[in-house]
Structure formats: structure tokens, C-alpha cells
Structure 1
């Protein structure tokens, strides 16, 4: 992660779409672009804060790029930004958010802001929001049944319980002790 403006890596095989998204955000963020999975992997490094990744690209699919990014320990928030409606196969994909194209400037900037904010959260909170994003994406697409969805809901509840347990251990009195 860098000082100054956050760095966003836009990855999509449609060059015109990459250029459009870049024009939406280049006045706010430092922007890197890639029009293939291989180019994305050679561009991504620890300076990248957010990756917006297309799911369906020739030669190397977004899912593969996502797994390679995670295996390389690239500490970036990753959103799948794709025209592919989510199905149960997203449950095991290690992304932080999922959005279906098209998106306008406000949606794109809002997505990046949310991802940057989540990057500051602890591990459990980040996991919670990634799971909640998957759940919401599946529900919006009408794919909220089946064993994968049920497993996702169970994982989400388990993470919620860990977060609640942490908050209970800290307690409200300790949390507000500095204010007294």
C-alpha cells in the first residue's frame, strides 16, 4: 500500500472499457491498467491497493488471475467487475466484492472507496464483508438456494459470531474508557 493516492489496477480485455473506467477515476486515484490476465499479474505488486477484475477474459480467466494474486500475497482488495451474473461457483472465489457491469462513475468510485475502507478493517471484518458481498450478489441474481449458498450463510454466521465474541471480550466499558 502506498502513501498518497491509492493505486487501482483495472483489468479487462475490452480496451475501450478499461479506458472509460480509467477516465472515471484517474483524477482521484493512481491507475494501472491491464487488458489480459498475464498483464495483470505482471503489473500487480504491493503498490496496488485495489484490483477491479473482469471475470471472463480470453487465455486466462479472472478466477485464475484472482487465485494467482492471492497466491502471490498481493495485499490488495479485489472486486470482480464483470458482466457474468453470479452463480454458486463464486462461493469459493477469494474476492472482496462482486459487481455486475455496467457501472457508472459514481458506482465505480463508491466501490473503490468501500474497498479502501475495508482494507483498514481487521481480518475477521474483512472476511465478513467479503462473505456478505457474495451472499448479496447471489441473492440479487436469484441464485440463493442450494448447498453452496447454505454453506456460505453458515460461514457468514460463524464469522459474525467470532466478531461478536471479540466485541464481548473487549466490552463496551473498555471500548469507551478513553472517553470517561
Structure 2
């Protein structure tokens, strides 16, 4: 996420629907709209946190826009918001979530919240593992006395402890969402996810 207020791009070729989604989200997000795939690709940059992407549009399809987003390695999350019923071809598509129209305001807000939480979790894990690797290297290369006398090492240990709590808290938030709980069950193959 780039700011405290998430930035959402709505890509929808039906103006009334795009305006409705924007009105629903404007109190909780910085909202931009694009009416077709070409406008969407021009609007998408590192400042966009979430893209709500229609799949079937004239010109560039949502699928093509999605492929281009992934080719550019943009870190935004993408939720397809479409009337297209999913089929097995979705397995190869790089979206983060899929909503079938019609959708409610609650559904849009919930999917944005979940995608932002997943992004936060990813960032926390990335930082945690990077710091844990540095700690492991220092543990291997420096004596206990050297580590104890280092202010930088003490700060590293403190940051790892804080991150461990943040990662755990974020995971608990994700698990509190029923859809994410099912995803975790699918990943682990367990019928019960530990809380």
C-alpha cells in the first residue's frame, strides 16, 4: 500500500456502474475510474493498490489488461468484477479475487479490505524473512559477545519481535474472514485451521 488511504482503480465500460462503484467506495478509498482497457493501462502505476477489473470490455479485454499488469510487475491487487461466469481457464489467470455481478457495496468493500490485508501480510512476511536471514548470518559469523555488544543487533532482534507479533495479528485478521479461512484449509489440506 502506498498511503493510508487505499487507491482503487475501477475499470468498467458501463458508466453508470462505474459511477455507482465509485460512489460506494469514495468515503474509504481514493477512487479513479477507467472506461476501457486502454484507459486502465494508462492509469495504472505504483500508486494503485487495488484494481476492480471488468473482464469483458470493448477493445482491450480485462484479461489482456490483467496480463499486462502482471507483465509490468505492478504490486497492485486485482479483483475481477464481472458478469462472466468462471470456467477452468481462470486457473491460469493472475487475478487475486473474482466477483460475479451483480455485486453489493458490502462485497466491494470486503474484497478491497481483504486484498489490502493480504498485501500488508505479504509485506510483513517479506520484511520478517529478510531480517531473519540477516540475523541468522550474524549469528553464524559473529560471536555471542560481539552480538551482545552491538546496538544494531539489539535493534534487529527488537524489530523481529515486533514483526512476529504483527504477522500473527494480521494472520488472525485474515482467518477471521470466512473466505480466507477456507483458502487456508485448502492450502494446508486440514479441516481445521489453528487459531
TM-score, L = length of structure 1: 0.68
2:160 maps to: none
1:9 maps to: 9
Report the RMSD for the aligned CA atoms in angstroms: 2.5
1:147 maps to: none
* 1:160 Cα deviation from its structure 2 partner: 4.0
- Is the partner of 2:112 in helix, strand or coil? helix
Task: Show CA shifts across 1:148-178 (max 9, x none).
Answer: xxxxxxxx96x648xxxxxxxxxxxxxxxxx
User: Is 1:75 matched with 2:90?
Assistant: no
Q: Which runs of 5+ in 2 are unaligned?
A: 126-173, 190-195
After TM superposition, which residue ranges in structure 1, 4 or more long, deviate above 4 angstroms?
none
* 1:107 Cα deviation from its structure 2 partner: 1.0
Distance in 1 separating the partners of 2:44 and 2:122: 23
Distance in 2 separating the partners of 1:14 and 1:56: 11
TM-score, L = length of structure 2: 0.63
Whose RCO is larger (CA < 8 A, sep 6+)?
1
Distance in 2 separating the partners of 1:31 and 1:24: 10
1:168 maps to: none
Q: Which runs of 5+ in 1 are unaligned?
A: 137-155, 162-180
Task: Show CA shifts across 1:40-84 (max 9, x none).
Answer: 000000000000000000111111000000111111010000001
User: Is 1:65 matched with 2:57?
Assistant: no
* 1:104 Cα deviation from its structure 2 partner: 1.1
Distance in 2 separating the partners of 1:30 and 1:69: 20
**Which structure: larger Rg?**
2
User: Is 1:41 matched with 2:26?
Assistant: no
